[in-house]
A and B are shown apart, each in its own frame.
Chain A
Amino acid sequence: MVEYAVLDAGMGGLVIILGGVAAVVFVVMAVIILRFSIRAIKSELKKEAEAEQLDAQQAKEEDIKAEQKDEEV
């Protein structure tokens, strides 16, 4: 009986160790993916905002040019 009890405890410990390592691996992977994706989202949003600003600037410049042409005429 004692042998079985020791074996049972040993298997339980093994399961806990394996599960713990698996959980740690999962958490590390999850943190890596989260950091990368959040960084990517932020950079893409920044790019989008900059592109919009550029568009707005170009539109303004074109308006000014058009006005100048009108005045010249």
Chain B
Amino acid sequence: MFLFYMIGLPIALLAGTILLTLMVEFPIVYCTGITRNKKYIVAVNALTNVCLNAGIIIVFLFDMSGTQWKLERDICIWTLFAELTLIPVAEAVLYFMISKKSSIKVLLVTYVANFASFIFGLFVTGLLTDRGIHGISRFFIKLFGGFRW
């Protein structure tokens, strides 16, 4: 069990997120013809995902007490910030270098792909973790100002 937490968890986090993101983003980027270079798409996604996970680990280390839903809130804030600003822009810049499509199309497609992977990631986190779905829904309910159904 200790071994799982020590070695399994970081590797599972990295490999799992990279695989999930590739599952969502690869078809979108490949089929819209931004680039047909498979190795390049995988490398770009691996690079940006490592940055996302480094942020998540930093949040883990700061909020290790795990009370008052701080962990979930901070992970939601970091993921929103990273997936909506940092990662699409970085990926778009990397795709500009190799793509022959217009830059607006590249930017739009990377934004759509990243947003799709963000939504997918929310669902997977909610399904896999015990408290994750509560924390995520709490954060979004607070974010949208107590929106009632």
A45 contacts across to B, CB distance below 8 A = 97-98
CB of B43 within 8 A of chain A?
A: yes
A19–B39 Cα distance when bound, in Å, is: 33
A23–B7 Cα distance when bound, in Å, is: 9
Given contacts A40-B40, A40-B43, contact A21 B6 (CB under 8 A): yes
CB of A61 within 8 A of chain B?
A: no
**17 A-B residue contacts at CB 8 Å?**
A19-B61, A21-B6, A22-B9, A25-B6, A25-B7, A26-B10, A26-B14, A26-B57, A30-B14, A34-B50, A37-B47, A37-B50, A38-B47, A40-B39, A40-B42, A40-B43, A41-B47
Q: Are A22 and B10 in contact, CB atoms less than 8 angstroms apart? A: yes
Instruction: Produce 1/0 per residue, A20-61, CB < 8 A to B.
Output: 011101100110011011101100110010000000000000
Q: Are B10 and A34 in contact, CB atoms less than 8 angstroms apart? A: no
B contact residues vs A (CB 8 Å cutoff): 2, 5-7, 9-11, 13-14, 18, 37, 39-40, 42-44, 46-47, 50, 53-54, 57, 61, 64, 94, 97-98
A37–B21 Cα distance when bound, in Å, is: 15
15 further A-B pairs in the complex, CB-CB below 8 A; given A18-B6, A45-B98: A18-B5, A22-B9, A25-B6, A29-B14, A30-B50, A33-B14, A34-B47, A36-B43, A37-B50, A38-B47, A40-B40, A41-B44, A41-B47, A41-B94, A44-B43
Partner of B98, one of A21, A30, A44: A44
Q: Are B46 and A37 in contact, CB atoms less than 8 angstroms apart? A: yes
Minimum CB–CB distance for A19 against chain B, Å: 7
Which residue of the partner chain B has the closest CB to A30? B50
Q: How many residues from A make CB contacts under 8 Å with B?
A: 20
A18–B3 Cα distance when bound, in Å, is: 9
A29–B9 Cα distance when bound, in Å, is: 12
Given contacts A19-B64, A30-B54, A48-B98, contact A41 B43 (CB under 8 A): yes
